[in-house]
Structure 1
Amino acid sequence: MNVNKKVLFLTDIENGLEPILQEVTNTPAENMLTIQSYGAVISRPYGEIMRSVIIAIYQEDVEEVFVVGTKDKRTSPGNVRTQLETMKDKIQTLDYLFQNCKPEFFGGTVDEWLDGNENSIVAIEKSVEIIRHHPLVPSDVKVRGLIVNPKDGTSSIVDAPAAKTGQASPDHCLS
């Protein structure tokens, strides 16, 4: 293992994860790169978060990527729910469009898209698969999922099932 290897972490907007991630992955702070987003999920293989991951891999010579979820993540803040209620008519219109047109983002309804309340392990597995099988990500870059508990510092690796080689995933196809 290269002690000077750069490691990229895609994390949720959660304070205090860096010391836990350093300890769990045995990565010195100077070799850590972090991309934060709400949910730490890559929903589009050619979206802005994936673009940032790809650029970081090449620009910083990243050897390993971790998609990090947090255990016991709190649900959406109450004021987001209240604000969504005030936009009920707009949301219904958008939901109709998503069901009858080709939406440009992940999720079947506006609530699902904004909420991101998918099972965190499933979301991490999907994100790992998108990164691992993206045509612009070098095959020698290791990509893994990780669930951490910020309260007690425990962690567990999320093993994403490996897809068959030579087959393109439908999520990677452009329509």
Structure 2
Amino acid sequence: MNLNKHKKVLVISDFAQELMPILQQVTTIQPENILTLQSYGCIVSHPYGDLMRAVVIAIYQDNVEEILVVGTKDQRTPTVKIPTQLEAIKDKINTLDYLFQNSTPEFQGGTLDEWLNGKENIIENIEKSVDIIRHHALVPPEVKVRGLVVDNQDGKFLIDDIPTSNRV
């Protein structure tokens, strides 16, 4: 993987602890040049949420030149189960689902469940997160945004680039 070892890189990853040593080894980026943000399922769920705010601040405050959204293949995001047996919760879920489907830009389509859990496929979550970051109004076009999947096959780690559409 061709990355300048002196460039500042922001890594958005799941909470898997083994990812950082693997990335440092494969990318040869100096540890002091890597900033990390962790998110369940490496999901940037909203273009104006807290995680995206941290990304924008890192770009301008720490001069981040590249952003890597990294997930682990075959690792499912823990599914959040909200107890729906209580009538008060059912009403709130129905209201939130209505807002998700009918309000913009506050809620990005879908349902409450999709917002909490993301997609079942990690690659789809990474693609969506890369797309949100890449097309954000405050992310400069020269900041490269890439999606990576780490695959542990027989004790050997492979890192694959996820092909995504180019910046518009």
TM-score interval for Structure 1 and Structure 2 normalised by the shorter chain: 0.7 to 0.9
* Counterpart Cα distance in 2 of 1:40 and 1:31: 20
* Counterpart Cα distance in 2 of 1:40 and 1:15: 13
* Counterpart Cα distance in 1 of 2:118 and 2:128: 13
Partner of 1:112: 114
- Are the equivalent residues in 2 in contact too, given 1:40–1:69 (CA < 8 A)? yes
Partner of 1:47: 49
Q: Percent identity?
A: 54
* One of 154, 159, 164 as aligned partner of 1:155: 159
* Counterpart Cα distance in 1 of 2:100 and 2:133: 25
* Counterpart Cα distance in 2 of 1:96 and 1:136: 29
Offset of 1:24 from its aligned partner?
2.3
- Are the equivalent residues in 2 in contact too, given 1:43–1:105 (CA < 8 A)? no
TM-score, normalised by the number of residues in structure 2: 0.81
- Are the equivalent residues in 1 in contact too, given 2:11–2:70 (CA < 8 A)? yes
- Are the equivalent residues in 2 in contact too, given 1:69–1:120 (CA < 8 A)? yes
* One of 17, 36, 39 as aligned partner of 2:38: 36
Offset of 1:162 from its aligned partner?
1.6
Mapping 1:16-165, distance limit 5 Å: 16-76=18-78, 80-81=80-81, 83-87=82-86, 89=90, 90-99=92-101, 101-102=102-103, 104-149=106-151, 152-163=156-167, 165=168
User: What 5-or-longer segments of structure 1 have no aligned partner?
Assistant: 166-175
* Counterpart Cα distance in 1 of 2:77 and 2:48: 27
| Secondary structure class of the residue paired with 2:69 | strand
Per-residue Cα deviation, 1:5-32 (whole angstroms, up to 9, x for no partner): 1110011122221101112222121111
TM-score, normalised by the number of residues in structure 1: 0.78
* Counterpart Cα distance in 2 of 1:6 and 1:93: 42
The 3 A distance-change label for structure 1 pair 134 and 71 is same
Offset of 1:93 from its aligned partner?
4.2
Coordinate RMSD, CA, aligned: 2.3
User: What 5-or-longer segments of structure 2 have no aligned partner?
Assistant: none
* Counterpart Cα distance in 2 of 1:23 and 1:31: 13
Offset of 1:56 from its aligned partner?
0.5
